[in-house]
Amino acid sequence: MSDELLYETADRIATITFNRPDRMNTITPRMLGDLSERLLEADADPEVRVIVLTGNGRAWCAGLDVGAAVSGEGIGGDNSGSSNGEFNLRDAPPVVIHKIDTPTIAALNGGAAGYGLDIALGCDIRIASSTAKLSAAYTARGLVPESGGTWLLPRIVGWSTAAELLYTARTLTAADAKELGLVSQVVEADELPAAAVALATEIAANAPLAVRASKRLMRMAMDENLEDHVQRQYLALLQLFGTKDFREGLNSYLEKRPADFHGE
């Protein structure tokens, strides 16, 4: 792993930080693979209950490194981030974020554009600094979203709004994004780290098996009809009924005390 992507864990929270502030945290081919690996590492760690993605400097992530793409080292180039020179799109960070069961929070300290916007859209929850901007300027560059944006955006804001954003190549302020439901919170810049930790801590305090099952069920519901999904929910409940966390949840409620969940 390079120092272009930082990773740390504390208090059941894994924090992944884009660390190229001099380049607006644009993503190099190596960072693509590293980010997916870190996401999978956090998802496999029983001590991690929430993943927070943020950036150093004034940008969250301004997309793919254009210089690398022009030189042939970006996606589709001869050295696109994998050992055999081919980038497996099934391992792309937005796809990995969608597939893992650990909740993800994008703490948008600054601008998210291009591939960076796709990554942010893939996260379960987005909170933003009041100075952050979300740029859907793909068509103004003669492009489309690089990794899942046309699948994610209509599901978050609806077809009409997504179409307007993509066709006009519009850039949104944090306030605009909040109004459209693209972010759930907007806070002052100096309050963002604490707000992200507070939200992650609130999530981490709940039964991790149930939280992970909730994300998994929501993901599966996107491709199922109601009747099939209700059956899937029932099977998930049967599994959770047999856990120590379920008993702890009931006992803590009856005893009027905070629950102490262990993911068992």
> Residue 125: what are its φ and ψ, rounded to 5°?
-135, 140
Q: HSE of 232 in the Cβ direction (CA atoms, 13 Å)? A: 16
Measure Cα distances from 36 to 32, 65, 89, 149, 182 in Å. Answer: 6, 17, 11, 17, 23
What is the arithmetic mean of pLDDT over 96-121? 96
pTM: predicted TM-score of the whole model, two decimal places: 0.90
In this structure, the number of other CB atoms found within 10 A of the CB of residue 26 comes to: 24
* Alpha carbons 130 and 149: distance in angstroms, whole number: 23
pLDDT digits (tens, 9 = 90+) for 178-236: 999 999 999 999 999 999 999 999 999 999 999 999 999 999 999 999 999 999 999 99
* Alpha carbons 36 and 176: distance in angstroms, whole number: 29
Looking at domain 5-204, which of 3.30.450.40, 3.90.226.10, 3.90.180.10, 3.40.50.11540 is its CATH number?
Answer: 3.90.226.10
Q: DSSP letters of 229-240?
A: HHHHHHHHHHHH
